[in-house]
Amino acid sequence: MALSYKTRRRLSLLILLLGLPGYVVVAVTIMSTIDRPPLWLELAIYIALGIVWALPFRAVFRGIGQADPDAPPEKFDDDK
Query: How far apart are alpha carbons 9 and 72 in whole angstroms?
Result: 18
Percent of all residues in the chain with a pLDDT value above 90, rounded to a whole number: 10
Mean pLDDT of 2-15: 86
Crossing angle, helix 39-52 and helix 20-33, to 10 degrees?
A: 150
Mean pLDDT of 38-47: 90
**d(Cα 65, Cα 12) in Å, to the nearest integer?**
11
Calculate mean pLDDT across residues 50-75: 79
- The Cα 7–Cα 14 span in angstroms is 11
Model pLDDT, residue 17: 93
